[in-house]
Amino acid sequence: MNKLSKYIATATLATAFTISAPLNTYASDSHAKQDENHQTTQQQKNLNLGSENIMAVSWYQNSAEAKALYLQGYNSAKVQLDKEIKKNKGKKKLAIALDLDETVLDNSPYQGYAALNDAPHPQGWHEWVAAAKAKPVYGAKSFLNYANKKGVDIYYISDRDKEKDFKGTKQNLKNIGLPQATDSHILLKGKSDKSKETRREKVQKNHKLVMLFGDNLLDFADPKQPTAQSRDELIQKHKDDFGKKYIIFPNPMYGSWESTIYNNNYQISKAQKDQLRKQSIKQFDPKTGDVK
């Protein structure tokens, strides 16, 4: 091989290495990126949001404190109702309005199903309602029987679906022997209902509505905006009503408070919900002594 031939062969080989090296590097980077994306997608699929609610359900079902809070609420309500009965001189009949879920009825077995099976709402919910197996929360039956005996009209105002859930709801209330469980006293959410306000107003037309009961701020009034700040402002506005006109109960399992964490968008991904839940929590840093 002469010098010219050697030069051409060497140059050709060098060019081949120069071209192939970047191609191999690009292919390697591409595969790594695909693996990373696949791993992220798999992690999102495996993300179990339901399990994040297990301790809340366990507390609700097993803690004596939860039961005591219900008794405290209904005991306070009895004292307040007696005051309202004593001072009532008007023509309108007295009435009270109660939410159902986690206010009158204990649906924690359904929440247990959702937590242990990572079942998003409403999966299994309408089946649970139709089964009519919810038990009364502590103190509810005793108080409602007392109010009924005193001649107070009782209205059950719930955002359960009127079309799908009315039959099961009515049967459940009758199964556990709660008073005034009639069609006109069970006010579930219809297609035109945006909130509970219109149903409360319906009761107020012919009654003096003296007390509201619930586990959710929306069981009492609607904030101006669906934000955490607006909800806090509503609490301050009615701070003297709680324990008197408003009787509120504990529910760490779910509620309209959760929607404020997601900026009122439940359609976001599991990963986004998980991230926003964690971001909503204040935490102490033992290294710096700061709370952030």
Q: What is the pLDDT of residues 246-258, one digit of tens each?
A: 999 999 999 999 9
In angstroms, the Cα distances linking 213 to 170, 210, 235 are 19, 10, 15
Q: Is the CA virtual torsion 190, 195, 198, 203 positive or negative?
A: positive
129: tokens are: 């309602």
Rounded to whole angstroms, the Cα distance separating 203 from 94 reads 10
Domain layout of the chain by residue ranges: 63-276
Centre a 10 Å sphere on the Cβ of residue 190 and count the other Cβ atoms it contains: 11
Distance between CA atoms of 232 and 219, rounded to whole angstroms? 15
CATH 3.40.50.1000 is held by the domain 63-276:
yes
- The whole-number pLDDT of residue 45 equals 66
How many Cβ atoms are within 10 Å of 120's Cβ, its own excluded? 13
User: Which two three-digit tokens encode residue 135?
Assistant: 């038990």
Phi, psi of 222 (to 5 degrees): -100, 125
User: What confidence tens digit (pLDDT) does each residue in 78-119 have?
Assistant: 999 999 999 999 889 999 999 999 999 999 999 999 999 999
- For the record, the structure tokens of 273 come out as 């919900």
Those residues of the chain that have pLDDT short of 50 are 2-21, 23
Structure confidence at residue 46 (pLDDT): 83
pLDDT value of residue 91: 87
Dig out the tokens for 185 from the structure: 């006293």
